[in-house]
Structure 1
Amino acid sequence: MQKCIGKGSQFEDSGFAYSMSLIAGKYKLPILYSLAFYGPFRYNELKRFLDPISFKTLTSNLKDLEKNGLIIRKEYQEIPPKVEYFLSDKGISLMPILDELCEWGEKNKDEN
């Protein structure tokens, strides 16, 4: 295992802290995972898929993920307005890590 945080360095300056700042929160990982395997999604489709997430929480999380370059919000010039969300290349590069996390959870969830 490689050490991500060197001795004597600050945790907040580490790659681990940066990674966690992008995906921390109750719904960011489920949003990313949903977009990876079932997306792209329109806003209301994603809201229904992640129920019971609130509109405010979904909006906030989508804005954070877009700001951090993990998802892309695409607006279509049509009436009624249409917006879709999908993973960016940066978001796609995170999927192998999420798959590993999923596999680890499947192997260990019955131990408690």
Structure 2
Amino acid sequence: MKQGPMTAKEVAGAMGVALATFYKRHETYRQRDGMPAPITKGKLNYERSGMMAWLTRHHPARAAQAVANDVLLPPDPTVDTEHQARLHAAYAPARDLLAATRPG
């Protein structure tokens, strides 16, 4: 399914601002927040996949991405049995708890 460019009205709706506000501030969004440049002048149209990616990842109203808690990567298991032992140690207590609370 081919979709055309994303219009300014669609972008404004996705951002939750009025169309007039979007037209007033689109340069600020580009410079400050890294919004993609429009593909047309005048009536603004944007390349759809680029704008959707920006809205997903970089929109200023979106909460900041949390850093991972793990400082180091987990060590690579040397054999499958060692890996299975680690999985059992990590998940067996939770599995046993679920089995104990399951009705019936």
TM over 0.5: no
| TM superposition score normalised by structure 1 | 0.31
Counting strand residues as a fraction of each chain, which structure ranks higher?
1
Counting helix residues as a fraction of each chain, which structure ranks higher?
1
